[in-house]
Structure 1
Amino acid sequence: MVKTLLMLLCVTALSTPALAQNAATGADIAPDMPETFTVNTERFDFIRRDVMIPMRDGVKLHTVILIPKAAQNAPILLTRTPYNATRMTSKADSGTLRSILQGYDNMPDVIVDGGYIRVVQDVRGKYGSEGDYVMNRPLRGPLNPTKVDHSTDTWDTIEWLVHNIPQSNGKVGILGVSYDGYTALTALFNPHPALKVSVPMNPMVDGWMGDDWFHNGAFREEMLSYIYNQDATRKKSVIWWSNQYDNYDLFLNSVSAGQLGKERGMEQIGFFRQILAHPAYDSWWQQQALDRLVPTQRLSVPTLLVHSLWDQEDNYGDIALYYALKHKQADQPNLWLAMGPWNHGGEIKDASTLGPIRLHSDTGLYFRRTILEPFLAHYLKDDAIPLPGRVSAYRSGSDTWETRSALPEQDCTQDCATLHLTAQHQLSLNASASTSGSVSYLADPAHPVPYVQRPVITRDAPGSVWDDWLSTDQRNAASRPDVATFTSPVLTKPIALDGQPLVHLTATTTGTDGDFVVKLIDVYPDEVPEQRELGGYQLMVSSDILRGRYRKSFEHPEAIPAGKPQLYQFRLPVMNHTFRPGHRIMVQVQSSWFPLYDRNPQTYVSSIFTAPPEAYKPATITLDTAASWLKVHQASPVTP
């Protein structure tokens, strides 16, 4: 027994080092994972190429090329994005092109059914591309002394594509939503000869006047999370965080947007530092606003601007660009516009509803089949396909599509409707001015008006209503004492309004700064038999904000003289809506829209980004109803 035990101990002592050595080296265990795995694509219906395309400065940009196996003499549809080209072209575990193109900025029905070669590229500095990322990289010039920008990167990319894809017919179209719509616009500067069409959808155009970052001087505080996620790391490896579920509490407790950004370490981010340094519409913003820059060159590439009437992120720029081009190039033959009842990017997916409101059809499918597909095919293929009308506009309320030669002029001079505010909280549609009177409310920064019903969930987080907030019911706001509400009598006939409503408010405040939010609303009948939950629904059809310090000049802010009437005049976003019989028209006026926009302290400070807590004070706002109205173009009503 003892002898056996000694022998086992000896064997164990001798064998243990050998076993340990094998475990450490893995010499006797073959690895499961190959150094490089090759996907068998024999049964795929497309060829995938991942390439690094060199730019003129030596930087290489990661580009995914998807070529239908049946492609021959096929056009190219290009998208340039900061949102991960690999992810955008790898949406399904499938070997079909239609399956993997599900998701952001892809329209399988347009791309696959049209037989296009699909190309998606990471912009410089993002994901697989080399170089440095700059948010909305300015064009070469005063703000960009380098020899490269998005326009040169697009030119160099197209030059490579037309010489390295033998299945192509040498014609390229560029399209995209939001930031990708912005890059579709920058491609119009000194365009490559092979670029035959551009489709900017919901593009970022002017970040201060009314797109992502500000609206008429009020900072869009909810976009802090986007800046953090997008600009902190190359591959979005750092994500916005919060210890509070309700953004209303988060932003209120942090006092100012500048302070919250500092708490998140955002001063490390160059774009955030630029926002803090440029709260007013100075040359830094003006010199990169595309509605100012695009019209400086003759528009030589056929361009279809696509606008969403309920765009929660970029509802300013494409319409501003449309008017700028029409004013400076009245005989412009290369400009088209499509407008639909969509949120941001809603036109590329099912769009049979507007928030909770059921529409009569899938308006996104209508746009793609009737407007987009013919437009692309006309310029990118050899077929003589008829073009859509110059302006294709969906009319909400009557649920119809209209074709016209142009939008109404921005300044309504004929066929105008004037909506007068009255001291009795009524909205008068009479042509004569309202009788004298006033309406007052107390605006308290400690209790700002939420832009959606609380809790306010961070954009893109589960439970967030961010995508559809512009079509949410406004009854919660109407019930607050700090929201002045003006309502018309029940309509006995349809009233069709379109264009950009002009707000003309005359008001006094006991503070020395303040904001003015104006919302034009369609109030549904108390009973809607076909959809009962819409009984009394209050649907915004056009709304925006003006920061009072910019009432005279967007570039040079000044304090508001306390107790003295001031004129606050600004345009609301474009609308195309029919108020139907049985409905009412409502206007709401308030002085906060939180935390969509940062709170105005209502005490004038040099920068609201650094306003101290003691600057935030209640103020009484008094509207002079005899000198307050909305003016908008009135069209002939269309019967649904």
Structure 2
Amino acid sequence: MFAKAVPATLACLATGLVAGTPITVETVHIPMRDGVKLAANLFRTSNSGRVPTILIRTPYNKGHSLSRNRRAFVEAGYAVVIQDVRGRYESEGVFDPLFQEVPDGDDTLTWIARQPWSNGKVGMIGGSYLGIVQWKAALSRNPALKGIFPVVSGCDDYMDRFYSPGGAMKLGHRLLWLSANLKAPGYKPPDFAVFTRHLPVRDADRIAVGRRLRLYQQASDHPSYDGFWKSVSTMDKIEAIQVPVFNAGGWYDNYVESDLAAFSALRKLGREVHTLIGPWAHNMSIPFDEIDFGSHASAPILRMQLDWYARLLRGESGKGHFPPLRIFVMGRNEWRDEEEWPVRRAIPTPFYFASRKGANGLGGDGSLRARPSRGGRVDRFTYDPSNPVPTRGGQTCCNPKIFPWGPMDQTAVERRKDVLVYTSPALRKDLEVTGPIRAVLWVSTTTRDTDFTAKLVDVFPDGRAFNLTGGILRLQYRNGVRKAVAAEPGKVYEITVDVGVTSNVFRAGHRIRVEISSSNYPHYDRNLNTGGPNSSATRAIIANQTLYLGQKNPSHILLPVVKN
């Protein structure tokens, strides 16, 4: 079903409607529990009677949202409600991202269920923030909501939208989204490079949007996963989600880790959940500029949404085939169905870092080995926050023209002396890596805090080196993000860097490569190495970093290898 999308208007045949059926449009103002009214456009056919409803809630203007999806669902016999969320466009109130969406979603669902044209059954669709609001609405347990279909949205508000699993702020993503959507009236922000480089980071919202933003300030003040994040994060309350979930994401999307974490959590709770992960970034478009994953890399999301809700809202049980998990295996460029995540048959396999003269840049002799080298040695580099390693592609968001995403050749990054590069010999046969990636490092630094990064790269026979996934650990969070603990300069620590998730076949003749460094900017904020709160720091300290290798300190990357 992934090879070819079925035209949306074919859905009309199931209901007796005809493509091009006249659709009535009405603007309605839906009251919330606090008296605020949210504007929505109601689309339906004049003779449709009491029908199920598709709800789309958006901060991006209800008049410009999902017109193709809207028409397909109305022609298939649904009412469609597209609502401006609180404080956006024609809706009253103040837009306070994330905090308002549970009660507002709940009240909107209740209003829909009480309308004379509604049969009381509602489903939701949409991506990014339009997906976030679905997770929030599901937390309300409103009986009218029968299912959700979030796309590239994630449900871990700490890890997805503000911080990495290792505690570094997702600076570029956050400021780029804020500058595009929450600018003060009449304010013209400077270039992306200006506001991402501003210090202190805590004040960067004033540069990006021309004013203080409560959410940005609160996130800056809570770098640890504390009570603030527990109160707002969907993942921390995921047991409250009772409705069936179809969740779609991409290997190069910012939210892919929590998409798969939500899948695993809901499966363990016995909920109905289906997840689709393709070779996509946040906009789900292909191909990328530098690599093509083939003719089958797309998926008919609209067709799947129609089938999903034909079953959930119309009782048509024979519609669609929904395996628990469907992933796109890059390199082999094919779809595959799985029952669980992580994939049980994946064998955690260590690839140990080694060097003789030093692994600094492509000119070094860093290698990956099946066993740690005898004895011990070290590789060293200097991390200067004024000259950070630049982000080049990856799991970024939200404007590829300003902040490119996806797979990109990393050789320019790998020429830097502050990037340690470890490369395997050319593979004699294909090797599949599917699952979570971890880098286990023995490190020391000369400062009380710093960062360590790890990136997994697929090196093609022609020398191009494409990033698969990457991660970062703020050293003060080496014991977890719930509590910061300062490092002792010079002390050797064993740390684990969450390098993300992927599914990729390294083809015969390709090489596996790992990059180790201390920055990936502006994807993540620069650690200024002071040991104090990074968001309020204005001065930087240079850190001298040491990575320990060999039998005593066997630094390595742990790859989940799937054997055919």
Q: Aligning the two structures, in what range does the TM-score lie when normalised by the shorter sequence?
A: 0.7 to 0.9
8 Å CA contact retained: 1:231, 1:271 = no
Shift of 1:342: 0.8
Q: Distance in 2 between matches of 1:269 and 1:596?
A: 20
Pick from 517, 520, 523 the counterpart of residue 456 of structure 2.
520
Shift of 1:517: 1.4
The amino acid of 1:595's aligned partner reads P
Q: Distance in 1 between matches of 2:408 and 2:426?
A: 22
Pick from 48, 54, 57 the counterpart of residue 77 of structure 1.
54
Q: Deviations over 1:259-317 (max 9, x none)?
A: 4335567663222321232232221112222111112x3x4211112121101x33332
Query: Are 1:471 and 2:407 matched, yes or no?
Result: yes
Shift of 1:150: 2.7
Q: Distance in 1 between matches of 2:123 and 2:398?
A: 31
8 Å CA contact retained: 1:45, 1:68 = yes
Q: Distance in 2 between matches of 1:44 and 1:376?
A: 20
Query: Are 1:164 and 2:164 matched, yes or no?
Result: no
Give the aligned partner of residue 256 of structure 2: 315
The amino acid of 2:372's aligned partner reads A
The amino acid of 1:334's aligned partner reads E
The amino acid of 1:538's aligned partner reads A
Query: Are 1:127 and 2:89 matched, yes or no?
Result: yes
8 Å CA contact retained: 2:59, 2:129 = yes
Shift of 1:543: 0.8
Structure of higher CA gyration radius: 1
Q: Deviations over 1:203-245 (max 9, x none)?
A: 2423333434555221222222422443455xxx455511xx5
The amino acid of 1:82's aligned partner reads P
Q: Deviations over 1:566-588 (max 9, x none)?
A: 12213222211111111111100
Q: Distance in 2 between matches of 1:241 and 1:547?
A: 29
SS in 2 for 1:199: strand
Pick from 126, 131, 155 the counterpart of residue 176 of structure 1.
126
Pick from 345, 354, 363 the counterpart of residue 422 of structure 1.
354
The amino acid of 1:612's aligned partner reads T
- State the identity as a percent: 26
Shift of 1:612: 2.6
Shift of 1:368: 4.4
Shift of 1:426: 4.1
Q: Distance in 2 between matches of 1:57 and 1:585?
A: 56
Give the aligned partner of residue 153 of structure 1: 104
Query: Are 1:187 and 2:137 matched, yes or no?
Result: yes
Shift of 1:538: 1.6
Pick from 303, 306, 324 the counterpart of residue 245 of structure 2.
303
Pick from 277, 282, 286 the counterpart of residue 344 of structure 1.
282
Shift of 1:458: 11
8 Å CA contact retained: 2:372, 2:549 = no
Give the aligned partner of residue 543 of structure 2: 619
Q: Distance in 1 between matches of 2:290 and 2:136?
A: 36
Shift of 1:482: 0.6
Give the aligned partner of residue 377 of structure 1: 310
8 Å CA contact retained: 1:225, 1:240 = no
Pick from 249, 260, 284 the counterpart of residue 204 of structure 2.
260
Would the alpha carbon gap of residues 110 and 434 (structure 1) be closer, same or farther in structure 2, given more than 3 Å must change? farther
Query: Are 1:226 and 2:177 matched, yes or no?
Result: yes
The amino acid of 2:93's aligned partner reads G
SS in 2 for 1:581: coil
Would the alpha carbon gap of residues 406 and 238 (structure 1) be closer, same or farther in structure 2, given more than 3 Å must change? farther
8 Å CA contact retained: 2:438, 2:498 = yes
Give the aligned partner of residue 529 of structure 1: none
Q: Distance in 2 between matches of 1:364 and 1:111?
A: 21
Give the aligned partner of residue 508 of structure 2: 581
Q: Distance in 2 between matches of 1:573 and 1:358?
A: 21
Query: Are 1:568 and 2:467 matched, yes or no?
Result: no
Shift of 1:601: 1.3
Q: How many residues align?
A: 529
SS in 2 for 1:574: strand
The amino acid of 1:610's aligned partner reads S
Q: Distance in 2 between matches of 1:354 and 1:460?
A: 14
Query: Are 1:406 and 2:368 matched, yes or no?
Result: no
Comparing 224-233 with 580-589, greater Cα deviation is found at: 224-233
Shift of 1:551: 1.0
Pick from 268, 271, 290 the counterpart of residue 356 of structure 1.
290
SS in 2 for 1:392: strand
Q: Deviations over 1:51-91 (max 9, x none)?
A: 001223322111111224675665322111222212326xx
Query: Are 1:389 and 2:323 matched, yes or no?
Result: yes
Query: Are 1:208 and 2:158 matched, yes or no?
Result: yes
Would the alpha carbon gap of residues 131 and 451 (structure 1) be closer, same or farther in structure 2, given more than 3 Å must change? same
8 Å CA contact retained: 2:155, 2:233 = yes
Give the aligned partner of residue 387 of structure 2: 447
Q: Distance in 2 between matches of 1:509 and 1:263?
A: 32
Would the alpha carbon gap of residues 441 and 109 (structure 1) be closer, same or farther in structure 2, given more than 3 Å must change? farther
Q: Deviations over 1:142-196 (max 9, x none)?
A: xxxxxxx533322332232234352x55432112212221110112224332322
Q: Deviations over 1:559-611 (max 9, x none)?
A: 22111111221322221111111111110011111122221112212x11221
Would the alpha carbon gap of residues 212 and 475 (structure 1) be closer, same or farther in structure 2, given more than 3 Å must change? same
8 Å CA contact retained: 2:436, 2:502 = yes
RMSD over aligned Cα atoms: 2.8
Comparing 173-182 with 187-196, greater Cα deviation is found at: 187-196
8 Å CA contact retained: 1:352, 1:360 = no
Would the alpha carbon gap of residues 387 and 110 (structure 1) be closer, same or farther in structure 2, given more than 3 Å must change? farther
The amino acid of 2:279's aligned partner reads P
The amino acid of 1:375's aligned partner reads W
- For structure 1, the 5+ residue unaligned runs are 1-42, 90-100, 138-148, 527-535
Q: Distance in 2 between matches of 1:377 and 1:472?
A: 39
Give the aligned partner of residue 12 of structure 2: none
Shift of 1:469: 2.0
Q: Distance in 2 between matches of 1:399 and 1:623?
A: 35
Normalised by the length of structure 1, the TM-score is 0.76
Q: Distance in 1 between matches of 2:45 and 2:514?
A: 52
Q: Distance in 2 between matches of 1:418 and 1:562?
A: 28
Q: Distance in 1 between matches of 2:257 and 2:155?
A: 8
- The correspondence of residues 137-152 of structure 1 with structure 2, limited to 5 A, is 137=99, 149-152=100-103
8 Å CA contact retained: 1:208, 1:217 = no
8 Å CA contact retained: 2:139, 2:237 = no
- For structure 2, the 5+ residue unaligned runs are 1-19, 357-364
Q: Distance in 1 between matches of 2:519 and 2:418?
A: 9
Q: Distance in 1 between matches of 2:513 and 2:296?
A: 28
Give the aligned partner of residue 214 of structure 2: 270
The amino acid of 1:314's aligned partner reads Y
SS in 2 for 1:563: coil
- The correspondence of residues 232-251 of structure 1 with structure 2, limited to 5 A, is 232=183, 237-238=185-186, 241-242=189-190, 245=191, 247-248=192-193, 251=196
Give the aligned partner of residue 146 of structure 1: none
Normalised by the length of structure 2, the TM-score is 0.86
Query: Are 1:433 and 2:433 matched, yes or no?
Result: no
Comparing 264-273 with 517-526, greater Cα deviation is found at: 264-273
- The correspondence of residues 514-553 of structure 1 with structure 2, limited to 5 A, is 514-526=450-462, 536-553=463-480
SS in 2 for 1:525: coil
Q: Distance in 2 between matches of 1:213 and 1:115?
A: 42
The amino acid of 1:199's aligned partner reads F
